[in-house]
Structure 1
Amino acid sequence: MKNRIFAFNDTASFEKELIQFKDWCKENGSPTICFQIHSEELDPEKLSSVWNTLEHVFPDVPWFGNSTSGNIVNCDKASEISVSAIIFEKPTSKFEIYQYDFSQKSISDIACEIEKEANRNHWVKAVEIYHCISPFSTTLLCEGLDALAPDIQIFGGIVCSPDITSHNSCVFSSVGGYTRTGLLVVFYGGREFYVESRKISGWKPIGRNFHVTRSEGNILYELGSIPAYEVYNKYLNIKNDKNFFYNALEFPMLYEHNGISIVRAAGASNPDGSLTMSSDIDEGSIVRLSYGEPQLIVDSIKTESENSEMFAPEVLHIFSCAARKAFWSQHEPTYEITPFKKIAPNTGFFSHGEFLREKGHLNQHNITLVIASMREGPVVKREQVKNDIEHREKSTRLPLAARMATFIRETSFELEQINSKLRVMNEHLQDVATTDSLTGLENRLAFDALLNTINQEDSEANDWTMFLMDVNGLKYANDTFGHQAGDALIIAAANVIKNAYGNNGNCFRIGGDEFVVVTRAPQESLFIQQTQLKNSVDEYNKTALYHLSIAIGESRLCSDTGVRKSISDWKMEADLNMYRDKVRYHKTIENSENKNLKDLISCLISVEEAKDSYTAHHSERVREYSELIARFLGLSESSISLITHAAHLHDIGKIGIRDNVLTKPGKLTDEEFEIIKQHPVIGAKILMQSNYTHEMVQIVLHHHERYDGRGYPEGLKGENIPIGARVIAIADSIDAMTSKRVYRDAMSLDYCREEIEKNLGKMYDPAIGKVVLEHWNELVDSLLHMRTGHQKVLVSSDPSSWREHRDR
């Protein structure tokens, strides 16, 4: 495989060179050739001279080309219009050119056609893309081409013009003519054709992680719930002025997508604080600022050039982002790619964006260098090349900027951990500092004002009754289940009290768990109101997560003998009666409901798993996987202990699910799935009746929440889900997928890993998932050890059946 390069300066000299090349082709057996044109000129009238000359000298030879922000030939800046003859020397090598127009077909339809053509031509090994700048995202194209056979490599670039801020661009070919709204695709392949593609960014992460809390396409609105621009302003002191693009260019964002880091540049800062990014960034993903240190970039390119040299390419195609030219403003634009010059003849151009397929996914990159290495036939002298590379001296000296960036990155991580703990403490303090606005009832000041009014009334006005009420077990609920449980009980108590007495009296909240009703209702109606209160409490407890009980103390302002009491005596009597009622409540709970409940719950787990041999030992395995993951995350021993205990108890609520639903072999109906979805709530109810802590109950309650907010029972999203629940979600999925169930076979370990990787940021916390994937082999060793003596890991005949697993 060879390249022959021509610089188009004028028609006459170009034609003369082509005729000489045609003679060479005849002398060398007339190999298969095609012509590729890179042009900084976009005018079709001027460009027509190029392809008209090609067709005149080589009437049957196909050609294709694109506009650029600069041309590259043998790692040097090339002429305004450069033409390359791609020469295939092996008779089995093939290529095909396709051209599509966005104005005539949707991008989804175009991606579908490309897939069909590639599947029809089984010889295809590589797909090269030249994409005009368009007003829409490239996401649909990337996702559509993911369906191509996994061994097909995809690479290319978004074509542009010398003005990188302009949207002008074009592609042209012998099969589709000239268009400014098109997509050019070239298939390469054949039995003796080999290709390898790689990317180089050189950008290194710096500082803390930021969660994308709001974005739409390529408009990034919020990072960590603050305007995205504030990140650049606060951490880098970059102002929103005419130099924003060039200043921010040195600090692009690293965007975690499809399991890899993708560079995204901030093209502009908008008045509302949003950023117009170079390409889409998904909401819910994680980004980090990065920096470009020239020496590190050069070193990374040198390393990748050595790896490319091992492939022994005969031709290189280079796609270098035009924004990198701006970064290397103190050097020649091709300064950084010099190490590739000695490897093989090469052509390329400066692009608006770059495409590369990795891990089965096609991604669009920015400020990135993509290199496609091609050759025909086996590698020659590979061992000699390998030995030369291995004996080259490797420098271990890091630039000062690199060392400082590492320091900043690590200290930022430590600060994130501290801030996370502070957030938990602040939330706790906020819960403790609740006010009467929580209930909407009148507060203590209003109560004292009413008592003052009653005290000043005529002594004959004795028809007042006071009900002093206290929520039973509120302190226990706060201490055990957290103040959100206490708040729920307070709100529930306020509602039932207002429903029973609000029409005939004044309702107050005078303390954390204390309520007062003062009414002038006739004595005969008070029994009806108390009955209504009891019925309201009973009705609430039928579906409530936290059990509500209210102690009540009644006192009338006028005694049975007709003597009016003082205000203080009136209150004291109601208070004493209320505490008598509360003592009765506590004795009942202590004697009958909480004795040895932890032991009973452990028995219930064994009973539940004994009902279904397919889920036997499930809780034990999830507990072990969860402990491993928690240790991989570097959590404290107390946190690890909490998570492992919760993992062991996570499915205790299934004891309350009917067997015909739980073990149903077929697909669940929507009604049956709603029943299944109750098991975290049932489990939390069981645990909250014992001495289990609030944190553990919350983990069990939320272990089926999804990171994207589409889980259950409460649809929590992102970091609002307890970290223990996020850990168990992955551990539970691993065991579910690799276990044989009544409704499907077990999944393979490879399929399980792919599902986790695919659902990062969707079902699973991407940060935790990434750590799991990094320690996958250790986790697999534990999985195989756990299953010794139990069921074995199988390979499902229908991987799609994972979608039907009961806990979804």
Structure 2
Amino acid sequence: AGLKDGECLVGVILITDASVKKRLVYDEVQLISSVTSVASIAIKNSRLYERARQEARTDEMTGLLNRKYFYEVLNEELEKNREASLALAIINVDDFKLYNQLYGVKEGDLCLQRIADIIRSSVGESGYTARYGGKEFAVLLPGYDLFSARNMVESIAKQIYVMNNRRTDMKLKAVTVSAGISAAPYAARNVKELMENVDLAVYHVKHNGKNGIQVFDMMFRNNSEGNNTRNHTHIYQEYESTIYALTAAIDAKDHYTFSHSNNVAYYATSLATTLGMNEDMIEIIRQAALLHDVGKIGIPEYILNKEGKLTDEEYEIIKGHVEASIDIIRHLPSLDYVIPAVIGHHERYDGKGYPRRIAGEDIPLTARILCVADSFDAMTSKRCYKKAFSIEVAREKLLQDAGRQFDPDLVYKFVECLDNGSITLVKAEETVDNLKEIL
């Protein structure tokens, strides 16, 4: 008896009987028909389930794992490889927006599909491949050390670079990638650290000219201190004029926002330094602090300088400065690395903030640092609608809201710095000097 899924024959049931000459009676035919019907439905349902399960785990365009399922695999493999090495690579396509503008979105999709094919065939059964973001791919390699992972990523990058040479219908620009690699447990203890390490490595490549591969361990552990300082200075000088232009635009609209941003930069970087963060992260926090309120350029002055209490409508307009800041920064690809800190600096640790209402460690660490620094300066600064709190009052308010508005660990560390004098209250006349030091 045939088993069907629609019009397709998907199986056969073979029925035998010891009595070869016996003929089937009507009831037996009906029973066999019922069995084949139930079996066909069961097979069809299992195929539908498997298809839905596969679609839920894979990216529709490339066929690679999607981001959500990749995180599940990453957590599982980290547990399995506690006593072995687990390498992770993120491969970010350079200038993909320009590629779409040159050749169109359809050709851009084909480009991503070709890259996915190269990554899939290169990794094979050795690991897992995923489309991590719009133009980012992830490669997870259980049992691979940093050296072996780098060799594989180098091979992938070379294949991607020459893939358009095979096109005979039209000439396309070469595609390059910026890749970051890290490994657990050698350079990371958990998934969060592993992802942060890889993201930092990609960031380092992007801001040193793109088209390269950076291993996290080599970048942060093997470089000399002098090289770090030199690279740090070079990266910062490249964007100095852009940051200065934006901060000057803020000053033209609202002197308070301008001085406030500089004060927040001082408090935030001082806290980050105390936490032992590396120079690149401190620089990201500094630049994010300078730009975190740039969206207030679009808020009417009568709201910014209102002496009385804001109406609900006016408060909603003020809250919109976060999205406005992101809208400005996202048009500056060289500064897009500050977006996580900027978009999260008004989120609350208890999840009652804005704009995304995320909570706890789901809020980026850089944003949690900015939140403490931003609130402390707001409390200790004089505004048209309020007097400045003393440092003692601001200190107590920070402690009262630890675990509610603020990350408690960061509050305790910030208060400790206030108490031992490593962070001091910025006076109004010091703001200009702070600006010179920052820029």
Normalising by structure 1, what TM-score? Answer: 0.26
Structure number with higher strand proportion: 1
Structure number with higher helix proportion: 2
Normalising by structure 2, what TM-score? Answer: 0.46
